[in-house]
Amino acid sequence: MFGIYDILTFRANPRYGEAVFYIQNSLDGLRSLPVSFQGDLFPQLPHMQNWIFGVILFLFVLFVFSVNRSYGWIVDSLQNIAKVKIRKSMFSQTTTEGYQSRFFLIIFAVGILSLYVYLGFYPSAQLSFSIYFLLFLCSLIFLIVKHFLMRVVAYTFSKEASFKSGDEFYTNTLFFLSLLVAPLLILKIYFCHGTFPNLFDIIASIFAILSAIFLVIKLFQLFYKKILDSIHILLYLCALEILPYIGLFQVYKWIIKGF
């Protein structure tokens, strides 16, 4: 019988050397392997992401700069938001500062709405600035292409004045929607993260639906003259509003889940 005494005294008994060496190798195999951690030690919560704070801060500074540069067109839009008659385009009386202000505020609107949609996929999606930048870039390209398509349709079926008024209503609606969604985005990230997440999504969806209804009403007010115009408006809504935005959302899903 090979006992513990023999292990302790194997030097005094060389004939046990091979047996002791075998037992030592067996004990080494039973030793626990070193534990190592792979990946992040903490969950990627939105309020812990530095790039999200940087994006929100940049968009806020851009908003303040744009409004401070020129806010006359914003006041004019609010004053004429319920008017039906077609006015001369605001651009005809807008200065260079006004053009720049509108452009920066469109960037603000695209940035806010893209970030809110991106966070709508959390926590099933990984939070990354590169993915958000792709979403932002796709949204901006989408609006530019859509603008030129709207211009082609306007030259074909409507007057130039009607198109300019409709384009102004469209960009203003997008901007005011982003203003309503921005507080919800900040509350969702920094003050109520993890608490009632669906509440903010429901409120944002209501704002989006109301904005869409308001836009449809404006389209009928601007372009409806006879029964045939209603068919043109419905075709426009399907071809340049509903289907493109469904396609944009599918691109969002592909970017978020594919990278």
Query: Per the structure block, which two tokens stand in for 61?
Result: 């500074």
Q: Are 255 and 125 in contact (CB under 8 A)?
A: no
At 156 the pLDDT is 67
Phi-psi region of 196 (alpha: psi -120 to 50; beta: other; left: phi over 0): left
Give 201-259 as a DSSP string.
Answer: HHHHHHHHHHHHHHHHHHHHHHH-SSHHHHHHHHHHHIIIIIHHHHHHHHHHHHHHHH-
Domain ranges of the chain: 48-77+93-258
Split the chain (259 residues) into runs of 10 and give each run's mean pLDDT: 48 49 50 50 73 95 86 69 52 61 90 93 85 94 87 67 72 90 91 75 93 86 75 80 88 84
Query: Model's pTM, two decimal places?
Result: 0.75
Q: Which has the closest alpha carbon to 181: 118, 135, 244? A: 118
pLDDT at site 58: 96
